[in-house]
Amino acid sequence: MTSRHDVVIVGGGIVGCGAAFHLTRAGAKVLLVEQGDPNRRASGQNAGSMHFQLEHRLLEHGGERSAEFAQIIPLSLAAMEDWRGLEALLAADLEVVMHGGLMVAESDDDVALLEFKHAIESKWALPTSLLTGDEARRQATYLGPRVRAAGWCEHEGHANPRLVGPAYLRAALEQGLELATHTEVRGLERRGDEWHLRLATLDDAGHRVQEVTTRNVLNAAGAWMAEVARLAHLHLPVFAVPLQMNVTARSAPLIGHLVQHVSRRLSIKQVHDGNVLIGGGWPARFARDRDGGVDFAARPLPVAAHVRGNLGVAADVIPAVRELSWLRTWTGTVAVTSDQLPLLGEVPEAPGFFVAGGGSTFTLGPTCARLISRLILEGRSPLPIDLYSPARFSHINGFMASAG
Amino acid sequence: MSMRIEHNVSRPPPVQITVDGAEVEATPGEMLATALLAASRTVFWRDASGRARGPFCNMGVCFDCLVEVHAGGGQPRRVRACLTPVVAGMVVTTGAVEGP
Amino acid sequence: MTSPGAPAAVTGLAIVGGGPAGMAAARLAVDHGADVTVIDEQPRVGGQILRQPPRGVEVTDWLPGAVYRNVRRTLAEIENDPSVDWRLRSSAVALLPQGNGHGVELWLDTPEGLQAVHAQTVLLAPGCHEQPLHFPGWTLPGVMGAGALQSFVKSQQLVPGRRFVLSGSHPLQLVVAEQLLRAGAEIAAVAFTQRPWAGLRLLATPMVALRAHRQLSAAAAAMWHLRAAGVPVLFGHSVVRARGEESVSAAVVAPVDADGHPDLRRAREFECDRIGVCHGFRVSSELARQAGARVAWSTRRGGWLVAHDAWYRSSVDRLHVAGEITGMAGADAALEEGRIAALGALRQIGAIDAAGAEALAGPVRRRLARLHRFADVLTRLSAPPGNLAAHLADDETLLCRCENVSVASFDRAVDDNAFIVTADAAKLLTRAGMGLCQGRLCGEQVARRLERRRGLATGAAGALHVNLPVRPVRLGAAVGDED
């Protein structure tokens, strides 16, 4: 027996759960397939930053590339609005705070980079300003004397990533979403104008296999996006990147903003419960299996030197964190595209096959979920998203037999 | 009420420490938790709801014997009283309320 | 590591835990010429069973009982050996196998800051901690583990209160009550959750085993002494509530049935200022789990036990295990396990050949098999009723005492998010298990409560993932302090 759906979403992270919410709200018949528990991978494990200033990873490769990366700004502007309305939309406390963010500079080179960044942002109408070190310290008294200047964006902040995905999912379930957890997609094939998916659910009794058909597939599988696409004979240049993050024990209010660093890897904030989260894109490494091979599915392993490195930058910028307790370092695997811009749209070679994700997916998640849902339902997005379309990688799918 | 066992026990001369502003005698090398219990302190800290907390495991696991030790001019440091040996002149605060 | 980039100290065998298993292993390894480093959180070695008085405090006739005879001999043989690199007051907070035969890096949180030790091979013998009981009032100052009370007496030479109630299912509480009584305390009552017939089952065990089992005979002698002193020893009872505003003023004790359900109509109050709970132990396998070692659940034998082979090698290369983390079996068994694990480690680093190790291991294995049989008797006797905690906790009882997560708020979150089926996911959603004790005191209850509400089998919710550091570290110590 097969069941028919309007949309099958692959991936129960923030984008998949968010799209499930928007699609079911519009009355679509939707099945969400998640290989483990919902929101348990990068969507629930990231540090919850809402960062809109051009971040370190987009600036570190120099002028020309940075200008290309600025194409992400229109999405960022939309994301500010989405985040402001999200708690009301879902009628849930998501610990959203948008009290502004600082991107700090320590050296002459840093200050020059900050000025360069500010010029690009101004061109794209991202509301940021430049502060001197003293101005920054007046704004954020916890910043240490090494801070020479800072970029300021009043819309930045953070939310609790442990709550956002589940809130979307609860609302979607109330709206009639069908959910299949601990379920893997084993086959994905287009016949006529329908997609046929072969699903394997792992439970106590072993594998239960079922087939479902759908008009549309949304690949929101994060770090597993490329793998899912390959089942449909498609290549997506999305790469799994293992990262590590750190958290301190709860403490009295200390840090009132999102703080990032323009040239060193740092993102630091204090969350609602008082913990300080310290990350910034420090790599972990993939686990090894019993034979010494790489195990991409297992939880990545933390890199010792990167724990020290990350905590060290934090202590340089905000000296008071030295007295906090380093409680935990954890790892997760995020998805990054080859050009570091998100993937958002329909794959031209495979009508009805949509993709969403691939970079800054927490910050941009609610927006990606909303826009891709409109594209699926109405055939067009309310915001131009051609810049992020998978069409930019059509050249590598010229070799693939995706048309089926 | 707690009391140090005297029978069959010989201790080095006591030292002075300061607990919540009061001078308290303690044995050098004994754990701070011991000195505090012997000085009739049972509330070591308070959680954010104001609930009193004190030692539970006495072996470094539970983190419910946290007290503040003041050293130098800096911020007080929260330590596990069950794993912190008494040193002469220590300045300790109990009953601090946890933030936020 | 205090100066970033400085090379780690190098050793042959790093032993985590200076209790019976660690001490016996250190003695044997040093005798075979190995470079040995022993890491322990306490200022002196001996482990929890031999929590020593502070240096400078002299106790005449310290711990005279037969239970302590073997471990005290081992302590005397190793404590002052200068060939061991002693790292005391140090917590091993991370264990990083380097792969491809490159040994293991350990991170130690020491009074001098975070330090790294690079070991050819590692033996984990970290022991266990007490299993708490989540009952109304269990976070009130004055409620402690029975073992916590005992170590104040043994080590600190302190009677840590005036009048005590002990409650639990483990015979250790008889020994603790008697030690407190001898030291001058009042014992208001000792309550066992087991029905009186559990005692009959004890008598039905072969008398040979009973006589040879030092722990049980010590408990029996303690019971006799307590009763002679007029202390009520109740069976089929449990503490069900701790009363008091700022600290304990009374214990409410009620009959409990075989499932742990209390009969509150027949409850009575005992005035006291301390309550000791004694429901046995949970093994400290966090470091092994952080390093990726395979574990298996055993409610009776101590929780997430580290799987091992006949030489006490774990599933992780160059990671050996001994003592309670392989299954609760007591100090004498830990000594023997430490010896076998040390032989396994010596084979690993080439300090002994296979035939030599086999010859030395033979008699140890025979003694160990006997001790394991006795341990089995004890763990069967001391198992608490399965659902005691579930029946005792009320809505306001804190499930997670670090993060102040109440039972009611945990249950509500679990009910509102029906897609949550693992303990890890429940932790992410509720914060239970995220605090300073890193889930040691609540992790098991988080899993059991989730399973009960979902109708899942025990263990189906899985273990909380263990991240590094396995104990919190002051951040300034981790990055290298300027002070």
C350-405 pLDDT, tens per residue? 999 999 999 999 999 999 999 998 888 778 778 777 789 899 999 999 999 999 99
Residue A97 is given by DSSP the state B
Does pTM surpass 0.90?
yes
Residue B99 is given by DSSP the state P
| Residue C91 forms contact with A (CB below 8 Å) | no
Percent residues over pLDDT 90 in chain B = 86
Total CB pairs under 8 A between chain A and B: 17
Tell me what pLDDT residue C199 has.
60
Q: Do A253 and B100 touch (CB under 8 A)?
A: yes
Minimum CA–CA partner of B47 in chain C:
C404
Q: Do B56 and C436 touch (CB under 8 A)?
A: no
Mean pLDDT of C270-298: 96
- Chain B residues with CB under 8 Å of C147 CB are 57-59
Which tens digit of pLDDT belongs to each residue from A342-394?
999 999 999 999 999 988 899 999 999 999 999 999 999 999 999 999 999 99
- State which H helix or E strand residue A291 sits in: none
Percent residues over pLDDT 70 in chain C = 94
Which tens digit of pLDDT belongs to each residue from A294-321?
888 888 999 989 999 999 999 999 999 9
Tell me what pLDDT residue A403 has.
45
Structure tokens at C135: 């009952």
pLDDT above 50: residue C137: yes
Residue A60 is given by DSSP the state T
All partners of chain B with 3 or more CB pairs under 8 angstroms: A, C
ω into residue C384 within 30 of 0, thus cis?
A: no
DSSP A62-81: -HHHHHHHGGGHHHHHHHHH
Chain A nearest CA to C139, separation (Å): 19
| Among C479, C481, C482, C483, the residue to mutate for chain A (most A Cβ within 10 A) | C479
Instruction: Using an 8 Å CB-CB cutoff, list residues of chain B that contact chain C.
Output: 1-5, 8-12, 27-31, 33-34, 37-38, 42-44, 47-49, 51-64, 72, 74, 77, 83, 85
Chain C nearest CA to B23, separation (Å): 20
Minimum CA–CA partner of C101 in chain A:
A292
Say how many C-beta atoms besides its own lie within 10 A of residue B73's C-beta. Answer: 5
Selecting from C419, C424, C469 the residue whose C-beta is nearest the C-beta of A326 gives C469
The Cα–Cα gap between A67 and A74 comes to 13
Selecting from A274, A320, A325 the residue whose C-beta is nearest the C-beta of B100 gives A274
Chain B nearest CA to A319, separation (Å): 12
More confident position, A43 or C5: A43
Minimum CA–CA partner of B86 in chain C:
C54
Which tens digit of pLDDT belongs to each residue from A21-74?
999 999 999 999 999 999 999 999 999 999 999 987 777 776 677 777 888 999
Minimum CA–CA partner of C4 in chain A:
A308
Please check whether residue C1 is in contact with residue C90, taking contact to mean a CB–CB distance below 8 angstroms. Answer: no
- Chain B residues with CB under 8 Å of A324 CB are none
- State which H helix or E strand residue A353 sits in: strand A353-357
Minimum CA–CA partner of A274 in chain B:
B100
Nearest to B35 by CA among C57, C64, A325: C57
Mean pLDDT of A332-348: 93
| Residue B75 forms contact with A (CB below 8 Å) | yes
Nearest to C145 by CA among C440, C372, C479: C440
Q: Do B1 and C147 touch (CB under 8 A)?
A: no
Tell me what pLDDT residue A404 has.
43
Q: Do B99 and A252 touch (CB under 8 A)?
A: yes
Write out chain B's pLDDT in tens, 100 residues: 899 999 999 999 999 999 999 999 999 999 999 999 999 999 999 998 999 999 999 999 999 999 999 987 778 899 999 999 999 999 999 998 886 5
Q: Do A250 and B75 touch (CB under 8 A)?
A: no
Selecting from B5, B51, B74 the residue whose C-beta is nearest the C-beta of C157 gives B5
The Cα–Cα gap between A370 and A373 comes to 5
Please check whether residue C393 is in contact with residue C134, taking contact to mean a CB–CB distance below 8 angstroms. Answer: yes
Report the interhelical angle of C443-454 vs C407-416 (nearest 10°): 50
The Cα–Cα gap between A30 and C260 comes to 45
Chain B nearest CA to C362, separation (Å): 35
Could you tell me the end-to-end alpha-carbon distance of chain B, in angstroms, rounded to an integer? Answer: 31
> 3-class secondary structure for chain C?
CCCCCCCCEEEEEEEECCCHHHHHHHHHHHHCCCCEEEECCCCCCCCCCCCCCCCCCEECCCCCCHHHHHHHHHHHHHCCCCCEEEECCCEEEEEEECCCCCCEEEEEEECCEEEEEEEEEEEECCCEEECCCCCCCCCCCCEEEHHHHHHHHHCCCEECCCEEEEEECCCHHHHHHHHHHHCCCEEEEEEECCCHHHHHHHHHCCHHHHHHCHHHHHHHHHHHHHHHCCCCEEECEEEEEEECCCCCCEEEEEEECCCCCECHHHCEEEECCEEEEECCEEECCHHHHHCCCCEEEECCCCEEEECCCCCCECCCCCEEECHHHHCCCCHHHHHHHHHHHHHHHHHHCCCCCHHHHHHHHHHHHHHHHHHHHHHHHHHHHCCCCCCHHHHHCCCCCEEECCCCEEHHHHHHHHHHCCCCCCHHHHHHHHCCCCCCCCCCCCHHHHHHHHHHHHCCCCCCCCCCCCCECCCCEEHHHHHCCCC
Q: Is A105 helix (H, G, I), strand (E, B) or coil?
A: strand
- Chain C residues with CB under 8 Å of B37 CB are 152, 158, 160-161
Hey, which residues does B70 pair with through a beta bridge? Answer: B91
Chain A nearest CA to B78, separation (Å): 9
- Chain C residues with CB under 8 Å of B33 CB are 156
- Chain A residues with CB under 8 Å of B77 CB are 323
Structure tokens at C477: 């110590």
Mean pLDDT of C64-84: 96
Instruction: Answer positive or negative: Cα dihedral of C25, C27, C33, C34.
Output: positive
Percent residues over pLDDT 70 in chain B = 97
Minimum CA–CA partner of C141 in chain B:
B54
- Chain B residues with CB under 8 Å of A274 CB are 99-100
Which tens digit of pLDDT belongs to each residue from A138-150?
999 999 999 999 9
Residue B31 is given by DSSP the state B
Structure tokens at A338: 């080859």
- Chain C residues with CB under 8 Å of A40 CB are 422, 424-425, 428
pLDDT above 80: residue A208: yes
| Residue A323 forms contact with C (CB below 8 Å) | yes
| Residue A145 forms contact with C (CB below 8 Å) | no
Tell me what pLDDT residue A13 has.
97
Tell me what pLDDT residue B78 has.
92
Minimum CA–CA partner of B40 in chain C:
C161
Q: Do A273 and B75 touch (CB under 8 A)?
A: no
| Residue B99 forms contact with A (CB below 8 Å) | yes
Total CB pairs under 8 A between chain B and C: 144
> 3-class secondary structure for C46-87?
CCCCCCCCCCCCEECCCCCCHHHHHHHHHHHHHCCCCCEEEE
Chain B nearest CA to C200, separation (Å): 32
- Chain A residues with CB under 8 Å of B75 CB are 320, 323
Nearest to C193 by CA among C269, C129, C250, C133: C133
Which tens digit of pLDDT belongs to each residue from C113-122?
999 999 999 9
Q: Do C467 and A307 touch (CB under 8 A)?
A: no
Which tens digit of pLDDT belongs to each residue from C418-473?
988 999 999 989 999 999 999 999 999 999 999 999 999 988 999 899 999 999 99
Tell me what pLDDT residue A297 has.
80
| Among A251, A276, A321, A324, the residue to mutate for chain B (most B Cβ within 10 A) | A251
Selecting from C139, C157, C247 the residue whose C-beta is nearest the C-beta of B4 gives C157
Provide the CA C175 distance to its chain's centre, in angstroms.
17
Q: Do C436 and A249 touch (CB under 8 A)?
A: yes
pLDDT above 50: residue C4: no
Selecting from C419, C428, C476 the residue whose C-beta is nearest the C-beta of A162 gives C428
